[in-house]
């Protein structure tokens, strides 16, 4: 896990090296650290049409992956405008096993980084006895497999 100071240092660097960050905490605490660069926001839920909700996991995975790829390709980061893409609803990447390769292939570069947002973790008291709570499962999905380069907790 890295500190806020390391995020500030990263943001002020002249160029980046395919940075993909997992931010664990509320979005309002993240935004001040990105004040000096351009910020784009993508909620992965917006990649779905409410009128045609997919039910099959394989169909959802395929749709999410294709829509994400198209969206990332439509953002054209340029050297004069360093960009951080905040990705809301990042849990969908884990839930449907989409992973993060699209970010490395189609977005992250010397002038663009992506930040996966995990706003909070569940606690044991929030769930009935029949439900097993694994508060770190989402963070472990992204960190254990080496998908992300940095984990920063608010």
Task: Average the pLDDT over 75-102 and give the result.
Answer: 89
Structure tokens at 98: 């989409």
Mean pLDDT taken over the chain: 88
Helix, strand, coil fractions of the chain, as percent rounded to 5: 40, 20, 40
Residue from 47, 50, 54, 32 nearest 93 by CA = 47
pTM of the model as a whole: 0.89
Q: What are phi and psi of 26, to 5 degrees?
A: -70, 145
Q: How confident is the model at residue 122 (pLDDT cuts 50, 70, 90)?
A: low
pLDDT band at 108 (very low <50, low <70, confident <90, very high): very high
What class, spelled out in words, does domain 4-136 have in CATH? Answer: alpha beta
For 122, left (φ over 0), alpha (ψ -120 to 50), or beta?
beta
């Amino acid at each position: 896990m890295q500190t806020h100071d390391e995020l500030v240092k990263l943001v002020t660097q002249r160029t980046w090296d395919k940075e993909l960050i997992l931010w664990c905490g509320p979005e309002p605490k993240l935004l001040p650290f990105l004040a000096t660069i351009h910020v784009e926001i993508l909620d992965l839920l917006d990649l779905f049409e409410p009128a045609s909700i997919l039910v099959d996991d394989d169909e959802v995975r395929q749709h999410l992956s294709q829509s994400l790829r198209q969206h990332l390709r439509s953002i054209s980061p340029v050297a004069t405008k360093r960009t951080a893409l905040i990705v809301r609803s990042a849990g969908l990447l884990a839930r449907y096993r989409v992973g993060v390769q699209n970010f490395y292939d189609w977005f992250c570069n010397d002038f663009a980084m992506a930040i996966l947002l995990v706003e909070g973790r569940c606690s044991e008291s929030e769930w009935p006895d029949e439900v097993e709570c694994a508060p770190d499962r989402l963070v472990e999905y992204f960190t254990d497999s080496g998908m992300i380069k940095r984990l920063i907790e608010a």
